[in-house]
Amino acid sequence: MYSPTTRVLTVLELLQSHDRMTARELASRIEVDPRTIRHYITALQDLGIPIEGERGRYGAYRLRPGYKLPPLMLSEDEAVAITLGLMGARAMGMPSAALAVEGALAKVGRVLPEHLRARVQAMERSITFHAEPPKDAPEGDILLALSHATQHSQRVWMAYRRWDGEPSERRLDPYGIVQHRGRWYVAGHCHLRRELRVFRVDRIAAIRSLPEPFQRPPDINILDVVLTSIAKTPGEWEAQVILHTTFEQAREWLPASLALLEPAEDGVLMRCFAQDIDWLAHAVLSLPCPLQVLGPPALHQALATLAQRAAQFGSPAPGGHGG
């Protein structure tokens, strides 16, 4: 349960980071009623904070333009949240993370009281993030430009390197950005292909905003779009397997980025692409349900080879004792 003092300081932080906020907006952020917000505003004004209020039904509060707030004040929970966020960014291979994270952590440390600084530094030294090593991290300015265009629904032009290394130019309505397994992806409407597409951010060589707004589809799930696109990435082999189980159970075993699932009469049809047929055979055998392999023939052969090896490992050695 947060104390009234913490809530008052939170109101101050919100007003510092927004041009204007209504009492209802502030109340929803800190989970109190609008009447309590008016009490908090009065308390801040009594402390000499120049908060101005606009009258009327849609009136709002704002800090007087040009007013400089005192140095940053962080609660213990806020200091922990910021430190963990920065450490996570470093582990995920954020662009220019090494230098930027160390600089940000140092600045946070400078504004903390001594006892809290010591606790946060102990957390930095004690916690290790185990994340998949970053792959082909994108340039920071590219990621920032994409994020800005996504937030403001602004079309972009970009120079893009295709999977085969060929350069191309695209006009894109960016709907969202996803970081998955060490790589960054942007999903949006590609005007060249005239359809929803997913692009690797590290393959974007240049980008600029265009004076053309767009309307983002209201119900689109960007994470699902990206994961499904990854699962559809062509490989040398495509497995088709009927899983005799429910769709919900199959999805628990097979992430959306690994396989495409479709309901079938006698279970679930799984489609999975891979470059290595032996890896595909191991993946199929690891599924804990009855199944029927539809193809390709090479997968049947790989599974038969694995069965022979398993039979050899399970047989007693010559001269050994069974049981």
Do 104 and 112 touch, CB atoms closer than 8 A?
A: no
Residue 81 tokens read as: 């949240």
Predicted local confidence at residue 56, as pLDDT: 67
- Report whether 53 contacts 26 (CB < 8 A): no
Tell me how far CA of residue 203 lies from CA of 115, 140, 153, 163, 196, in angstroms.
Answer: 45, 13, 22, 9, 18
Round to whole Å and give the CA distance between 227 and 257: 4
* Angle, CA of 18, 19 and 24, to the nearest 5°: 70
Looking at per-residue pLDDT, the higher value among 38 and 114 belongs to: 38
Report residue 96 as tokens. Answer: 């220019």
The confidence band for 58, taking pLDDT boundaries of 50, 70 and 90, is low
pLDDT (tens digit per residue) in 177-210: 998 877 889 999 999 999 999 999 999 999 999 9
| pLDDT reading at 322 higher than 90 | no
- The residues facing 52 across adjacent strands are 62
The amino acid occupying position 116 is L
Cite the DSSP H helix spans in 170-209.
none
How far out from the chain centre does Cα 229 lie?
15
Q: Write the CA distances from 66 to 9, 50, 51, 63, 70, integer angstroms.
A: 19, 10, 12, 8, 13
Q: What is the pLDDT of residues 204-252, one digit of tens each?
A: 999 999 999 999 998 899 998 998 888 877 777 888 999 999 999 998 8
Structure tokens at 243: 């899983």
Q: At residue 95, does pLDDT exceed 60?
A: no
* 267: confidence class by pLDDT, cuts 50, 70, 90: very high
Contact call for residues 63 and 51 (beta carbons, < 8 A): yes
